[in-house]
Structure 1
Amino acid sequence: MSAPAEPTTRDRHRWAQYLVDERAEAQVYRELAARRDGEERAILTALADAEGRHEAHWLRLLGGEPAHLPRPDLGTLLLGWMAKRFGSIFVLALAQNAEGRSPYDSEPFATSAMAADEKIHHEVVRGLAARGRRRLSGTFRAAVFGANDGLVSNLALVLGIGAAGAAPHFVLFSGIAGLLAGALSMGAGEFVSVRSQRELLASTEPSDYADAALPYLDLDANELALVYRTRGMPLPEARERARRVVSAAQDGSQPRGGPLDVPSVDDVVGGAWSAALSSFLFFASGAIIPVLPWIFGMSGLVAVVTALVLVGIALLATGAMVGLLSGGPPLRRALRQLLIGYGAAAVTYVLGWLFGVSLG
């Protein structure tokens, strides 16, 4: 991209903003790197070094360190604060979104290489965030679904019973009963679901049944290549892999990545007990929120409105969290969660009101 011949004062102010933002982003990656080791630390350190190259570009255009620099943008400051204290998947998810909003595509003073760098950085951070998402997938899924189910189902329950004209103490009793019944049901259901999934995956994993036979296979005429083909490996690669494995077995050695080298079930699904406990606790934590107004002695319309406001805030929070972790727009996910929750509660409220009218 071609740059204008004469930069303006506004251009220089923009360069200074880019400079401090690049420094702040580099610091975020260094903070994250300090909390990791091995390959992830090396990757994050390399990202910080790359941001340093961009920083040097703006310094050259500015003619050296300016006397006065602006503050980094609010999003970058938030990332830095979280990186120092948490170093969690949330930081990487936010960094992924930030890298995807790079202004260098339309910045005339940025080089094409810098714009390309930012796109690559986005994919690198996405890859790092994906590792964390996979580690969280089982327990996080149970936690989010449990909290959302608790919020929506118990809000619908207490509103439906309240609309039917029940006394406040009966609404409270129903809400607590719904909390316990739902939490136990969610925990048991999640345990059975994850345990069943683990058993299903375990039954499809290759075993060591044929390992002892490998040294006795004919090097040129054997069906070991078919094993690899059933796992999706192309025919030429499967034949070459089979020859290497059989040859190594006949020599008394085992090549790296043998025939039974597959991901563990633990890498695919979470633990059954941890998923069940998360479902129970998060359903209970969500289900208690709609009941709070009645616990504190409210009744009637005031209790209903208070419950709606509290649940609405919680639904927005869980929706935004899902959006952040999935790399999607948090606001859109939050509003979607809110509309679904309120929609279910509204239907139940109308049914309860109609049931109360019919009884009256």
Structure 2
Amino acid sequence: MSSAPRARDVRRWRRYLAAERAEAAVYRDLASRRTGEEREILLALAAAEKRHEDHWLTLLGEQAGRPLPTDPRTRMLGFLARRFGSVFVLALAQRAESRSPYLDDDDATDTMAADEAVHEEVVRALATRGRQRLSGTFRAAVFGANDGLVSNLALVLGMSAAGLPNAVVLLSGVAGLLAGALSMAAGEYVSVRSQLELENAAAHGPVAVDSVTHLDVDENELALVYRARGMSTHEAELHAAEVLAGRTTEAATATPEHNPIGSALGAAASSFCFFASGAVIPVLPYLFGAEGLTAVVIASVLVGIALIITGSIVGLLSGASPLKRALRQLAIGYGAAAATYLLGLLFGVSLG
């Protein structure tokens, strides 16, 4: 007859049991929002977590007790899934799978440890799909807002440190907001417009009906078009022969028309709004009448909170530690602001 498990083993097994149940629930929740292959993959992951759950239930027996409460990490996963989509959940799940303790735990089977190692790669691949599908506009929002935060905080802190009146600092902050936002918008407009014009210039045009119907079948010069587009000689001749035999155009190979002006204007407007949303935060204390060191502290705290948020989001999207990315973002932002603040102090002393 086997001896009863030690109390510390029971506590550890119950933690594992709760974690497996929570992870299985997350995968099932994600699967309910997907279709096709991704849904099947997520359900397979949930089934594997259920097998692990059964293992701990077998070891615990009657000592399994009531289910432990959901841990804060899982609650955050659910919140992010509801608010921002599954890419955040998968990014966090990827990190959770990479920290599996089963490899060093004798009570977990080798199969379970191998499962967790494979799960990390599966979730990594799914998270990569999600990152690729994630709107470029969302990424632009994060980085554009971050640029506005750092640049305008540095500007208003430098002006304030120089001892300039509150009205001047406020005016400088608003001017910095507008100048930076307009510069970002103009740069984005030119970039997108130029890119679309290059794409349109390189686009395949359809061969005109009149041209096709009058081509010499024996010479088959239509094949030259396809060879120039990258087909081999044999492929080009076959494709041209098909077109000539049907006396039709190659409409299917024509590139659809873009709307460069609309797309470029949309990108410019987005860049303006993203930058301005970040740049307005350092200005708020001065806008509401705060002065001197009080305004500096309030602006720094507000921007610090915003930098932590944007840094965490970047960390989640990249699959890295949200905390490390948030602290790095904070250090970079505060470093730039501190440099201009010190310069402002030096100018203030020299002017005084």
Give TM class, smaller chain: 0.7 to 0.9
C-alpha contact (below 8 Å) 1:315/1:337 kept by paired residues: yes
Alignment of structure 1 residues 31-50 onto 2, 5 Å: 31-50=29-48
Does residue 315 of structure 2 align to residue 323 of structure 1? yes
C-alpha contact (below 8 Å) 1:146/1:278 kept by paired residues: no
Q: Which residue of 2 aligns with 1:335?
A: 327
What code does the residue aligned with 1:359 have?
A: L
Counterpart-to-counterpart distance in 2, 1:295 and 1:170: 11
Q: Which residue of 2 aligns with 1:300?
A: 292
The superposition leaves residues 316-348 of structure 1 with CA deviations (integer Å, 9 ceiling, x where unpaired) of 221111011110111221121112112222222
SS at structure 2 position matched to 1:102: coil
TM-superposed CA distance for 1:275, in Å, is 3.8
Q: Which residue of 1 aligns with 2:249?
A: none
Counterpart-to-counterpart distance in 2, 1:90 and 1:126: 12
Alignment of structure 1 residues 275-294 onto 2, 5 Å: 275-294=267-286
C-alpha contact (below 8 Å) 1:323/1:329 kept by paired residues: yes
Counterpart-to-counterpart distance in 1, 2:16 and 2:218: 64
Pick closer, same or farther for the CA change 1:131–1:194 going to 2, 3 Å.
farther
Which of 146, 153, 156 is 1:155 aligned to? Answer: 153
The answer to which of 162-171 and 54-63 deviates more is: 54-63
Which of 19, 30, 36 is 1:21 aligned to? Answer: 19
Q: Which residue of 1 aligns with 2:114?
A: 116
Counterpart-to-counterpart distance in 1, 2:227 and 2:22: 52
Counterpart-to-counterpart distance in 1, 2:154 and 2:303: 11
Alignment of structure 1 residues 107-256 onto 2, 5 Å: 107-136=105-134, 138-200=136-198
Counterpart-to-counterpart distance in 2, 1:17 and 1:344: 44
Aligned length: 337
TM-superposed CA distance for 1:64, in Å, is 6.3
The superposition leaves residues 103-139 of structure 1 with CA deviations (integer Å, 9 ceiling, x where unpaired) of 1111212122222222222222222222221233521
Does residue 350 of structure 2 align to residue 358 of structure 1? yes
Which of 76, 79, 85 is 1:78 aligned to? Answer: 76
Counterpart-to-counterpart distance in 1, 2:275 and 2:186: 12
TM-score where L is the length of structure 1: 0.78
C-alpha contact (below 8 Å) 1:172/1:291 kept by paired residues: yes
The answer to which of 192-201 and 93-102 deviates more is: 192-201
Counterpart-to-counterpart distance in 1, 2:200 and 2:218: 27
Q: Which residue of 1 aligns with 2:87?
A: 89
Counterpart-to-counterpart distance in 2, 1:347 and 1:209: 61
The answer to which of 76-85 and 340-349 deviates more is: 76-85
Counterpart-to-counterpart distance in 2, 1:34 and 1:261: 38
SS at structure 1 position matched to 2:290: coil
- Structure 1 unaligned segments of length 5 or more: list them: 230-237, 253-258, 266-270
When Rg is computed on C-alpha atoms for both structures, the one with the higher figure is 2
Pick closer, same or farther for the CA change 1:189–1:32 going to 2, 3 Å.
same
Pick closer, same or farther for the CA change 1:276–1:80 going to 2, 3 Å.
same
Alignment of structure 1 residues 53-64 onto 2, 5 Å: 53-63=51-61
RMSD: 3.9
Counterpart-to-counterpart distance in 1, 2:123 and 2:203: 31
The percent identity for this pair of structures is: 61
Pick closer, same or farther for the CA change 1:181–1:239 going to 2, 3 Å.
same
TM-superposed CA distance for 1:187, in Å, is 2.1
SS at structure 1 position matched to 2:50: helix
TM-score where L is the length of structure 2: 0.80
Counterpart-to-counterpart distance in 1, 2:11 and 2:237: 64
What code does the residue aligned with 2:336 have?
A: A
